Amino acid sequence: MSTRSVSPDSLVSVAAHSSGEVLEAWRWMRAHDPVHWHPGGEFSGFWSVTRHADVRAVYQDAAIFTSAAGVLLRPADRGGDPGGGMTLALTDPPRHRDLRAVVAEWFGARSVRALVGLMRETTRALLRRAVDRGECEFVRDVAAPLSHAMICRLMGVPDADRESVFEWSSEAFHRGTSLTTHHELARYFVDLMERKVAEPADDIVTALVTGAPAGALLSAEEVLFNCENLLGATENGRLGLAGAVQALVEHPGQWRLLRARRDLIPGTVEETLRWTSSAVHSVRTAATAVELRGRRIAAGDKVALWLPSANRDEEVFAEPDRFDVSRTPNRHLAFAAGEHFCIGNVLARAETTVLLEELVVLAARLEPAGPVVPVRSIAVRGPERLPVRLVPA
């Protein structure tokens, strides 16, 4: 590649991300300009970090690279993130650790193990329905409802409310940025918070409204932002699940190997996380001047970490552009690293594991049933629509 054919500027192009052209830009940048300065334009100026070692180093230094000023690239005219300093994603230690402690129990191994029965029952029902029909749109019919059902159970959203919450969250987080829908969702969570104060239960929303990190209750605004943040994270969940199936549809030899060697399911989970890398970038702000790979980063500069690039770094992964369910070791950064290592990693791995365990039993073959429509975003990646034919076993 040359800078004339595929420019680093494509990193902020939705079209380049949707088409996959950005993979070529990342490959060139890893080799020639791994810490690259993007001058201001639609976005304020920022640094791009594309190598695995550098991405990991930035993640692990929360003292120098802060999250509180925002963790996504935002158009220059939109200002900072309104949730700054109030959510798990947008806080630094020690506040981040205090907030994390409030909800960590619900995302730990014990809590997720208790959820696996419902997870398997839900997954099996969704897949059987899809197999019976012969074809499905996998995102709509399986990935989205599965991811949503699990987070709603953990958050304590009553069964009677889940369909409405699913529609609001789909509209607010997946299909666009409808302000009206965001307001509907906010009103719902304010009401749910009041119900949990009156009648505490064993769930995340109760933990948020009754927990006292550092000795003080969270404000209503902090609870609301964290509720919306956790629900919005189901976007990564659905994209990860759908991306796993897309990878297996597009690599039928790997699907056949997986069905023959079901002991490879744990490794397949890790490879689909690496391959899909549904979270595309994460931004940090330099709290002080620092040097990274010979480039001088000034205090206040934005630093964008590109996870799909780190997860295809030739210095870490042999044949990184090959999808290999038997790959080991697999030191991907799909869940970030350091203080902000994804709190939902156990849940995400469990959902993908159960999905694959059920899928290899119910389906002999996975075949494309129409064109895949990718999400149009520079923040997340994966299929928006994934038509799949499930040939019964």
| Matching residue, tokens 């991907």 | 332
Residue pair 312/26 in contact by the 8 Å Cβ criterion: yes
Mean pLDDT, the chain, rounded, equals 94
- CB environment 39-61: b (16+ within 10 A), e (fewer): eeeebeebbbbbbbebbbbbbeb
Q: Are strands 46-49 and 302-306 parallel, antiparallel or unpaired?
A: parallel
Half-sphere CA count of 139, side-chain side, radius 13 A: 21
Compute the radius of gyration of the chain from its Cα atoms: 21
Ramachandran quadrant class, 118 (left: phi over 0; alpha: psi -120 to 50; beta: rest) = alpha
Residue pair 66/287 in contact by the 8 Å Cβ criterion: yes
Residue pair 108/346 in contact by the 8 Å Cβ criterion: yes
350 within a domain of the structure (yes/no) = yes
320 within a domain of the structure (yes/no) = no
Query: Distance between CA atoms of 215 and 213, rounded to whole angstroms?
Result: 5
Query: Distance between CA atoms of 64 and 287, rounded to whole angstroms?
Result: 5
323 within a domain of the structure (yes/no) = no
Query: Distance between CA atoms of 393 and 382, rounded to whole angstroms?
Result: 27
The 10s digit of each residue's pLDDT in 94-106 is 999 999 999 999 9
Closest CA to 192 of 173, 171, 176, 168: 168
1 within a domain of the structure (yes/no) = no
pLDDT at position 232: 86
CA dihedral 80, 83, 85, 91 (to 10 degrees): -100
Q: 11 Cβ partners below 8 Å, 6+ apart?
A: 22, 25, 26, 38, 48, 304, 306, 378
- How many domains, in total, are found in the chain? 1
149 within a domain of the structure (yes/no) = yes
Query: Distance between CA atoms of 27 and 195, rounded to whole angstroms?
Result: 51
Query: Distance between CA atoms of 387 and 369, rounded to whole angstroms?
Result: 5
Mean pLDDT in order along the chain per 10 residues (393 residues)? 59 93 96 94 93 99 96 85 88 94 94 97 98 96 96 95 88 65 89 96 96 89 93 92 98 98 98 98 98 97 98 98 98 98 97 99 98 95 97 95
pLDDT at position 41: 85
Closest CA to 150 of 361, 346, 357, 341: 346
pLDDT at position 4: 39
69 within a domain of the structure (yes/no) = yes
- The secondary structure of 263-295 as a DSSP string is GGHHHHHHHHHHHH--B-EEEEEESS-EEETTE
321 within a domain of the structure (yes/no) = no
CA dihedral 66, 338, 335, 6 (to 10 degrees): 60
Q: 99 Cβ partners below 8 Å, 6+ apart?
A: 87, 88, 91, 213, 226
Q: 353: how many CB neighbours lie within 10 A of its CB?
A: 17
pLDDT at position 1: 40
- The secondary structure of 196-219 as a DSSP string is HHHS--SSHHHHHHH--GGGSPPP
322 within a domain of the structure (yes/no) = no
Range of the domain at 160: 8-315+328-392
CATH code of the domain in which 162 resides: 1.10.630.10
Q: Model pTM?
A: 0.95
